[in-house]
Every structure is written in C-alpha cells, then in structure tokens.
Homo-oligomer: A and B are copies of this chain.
Amino acid sequence: MFQPIRENILSKVVLSAADLETFTHNLEALTLNKGALFTRQDYKSDRLAFVNKGIIIGSMINNNGDRKVIQIATENNWTADLYAFFSGKPAMFSLEAHEDCELLILTKEQFNFLCNTIPMLERFFRLLAEEAYVYSQQRILNIFNKKAEQRYLELIKERPAIFERVKQHYIASYLGIEPQSLSRIRKNISTKNIS
C-alpha cells in the first residue's frame, strides 16, 4: 500500500528507514467511491492527498455557472486545493473521484509535524511545489502560444492514459475549450490524416 508513495518520495530525496516509517505512520488511507468529493468548492479543506489508485478531477463552477476542469490527477500524483490547504480559506475548486479511488491523506497538522521533524520531507515538499510551479508556468505559456488543436495533440502525447479513462468533455474543459470545439478539432485532425 505504501510502496508507490515511498518510491515517489525517494525519487526526490533520501530518507532513512526510520523517517520513512514515521512518514507512512502519519498517512491515512481513504477510499472514495466514484463521484464522491475529496474537497468541495467554497468549503474549507486541510488535507493533501496522494493518489494510489483511481483518478481525481479538480473542477470549479465559475461565475457563469459553468464547470471548468482544473486538474486531472492519476496514480502517483499528489492532489489538493493547495490554496485552501495553505491559506485555510474556502477551496477554489472541488476534487471528485472520477473512478473508485484509493488515496493516502495528510492533514495540514500532520504535514506541518512532518516538516518540522523530518527536514528531508520538508525538502521533498519544497521540490514538489517547485516542480508544480514550473509545470503550471509552462501550461500558461502553452495557452498563450498555441492553438487549441496543438494543445490537444500535445496533451495526447504527454498523458495518453487519461484519454482512455476520462470523458471527452472533461478533457475539453481541461484544455480550456467547449466540448463542441474539441469534437470539431478531432474531426478536423482526422480529415487531415486521410487526405
């Protein structure tokens, strides 16, 4: 059960067996049935999750009442509304189990405890945040510099797995476009390939 998360940690920092033990000891397993929420938009959440199994989709309802997908977390991804987690304020988005999920959870309290007692874990989370920031920056660059079609093609290359497990309109939303537009883009690509 803890093997994937151990590997995830050890891929970035070195931890003693004792520290690893302390770490896993603080984790809580959580099973979510498909459709269940891990965080709910506008409600507080002080939990951070590692996805052992399943898919978690983060989405928000915007001011027009439309749902927009923000993140798609699969196995070995960390997920949370970090804004809510760090600030203690209501969550910007909901996190929903898109399949039956097995998560490993850290509360903010445990997170802080671990950062205080195991410096290498604090380092791990620093590295994790840095990576997430860089990834997020790159996503902004993608949005500004590329058309939807290109972003779609690149997403297929980068994360082929999600296309088998996530409905097209969620993908469209994650790409920042409407489902109809993605449908047309796909049609357009397939006719290109024929000619």
- Chain A residues at the B interface, C-beta cutoff of 8 Å: 60, 62-64, 68, 70, 82-83, 86-87, 92, 115, 119, 122-123, 125-126, 129-134, 136-141, 143-145, 176
Q: A62-B145, A119-B119, A122-B123 are in contact. Are A82 and B130 (CB under 8 A)?
A: yes
**Alpha-carbon distance A123/B117, docked complex (angstroms):** 12
Provide a sorted-by-A list of 14 A–B residue pairs whose CB atoms are within 8 angstroms.
A62-B141, A62-B145, A82-B130, A83-B137, A87-B134, A92-B137, A92-B141, A122-B123, A122-B126, A129-B130, A139-B140, A140-B140, A143-B143, A144-B176
Tell me the interface secondary structure of chain A in the complex: helix
What is the oligomeric copy number? 2
Q: Which residues of B contact A70 (CB under 8 A)?
A: 137, 140-141
**Alpha-carbon distance A18/B123, docked complex (angstroms):** 22
Q: A136, A140, A144 — which one has the most chain B CB atoms within 10 A of its CB?
A: A144
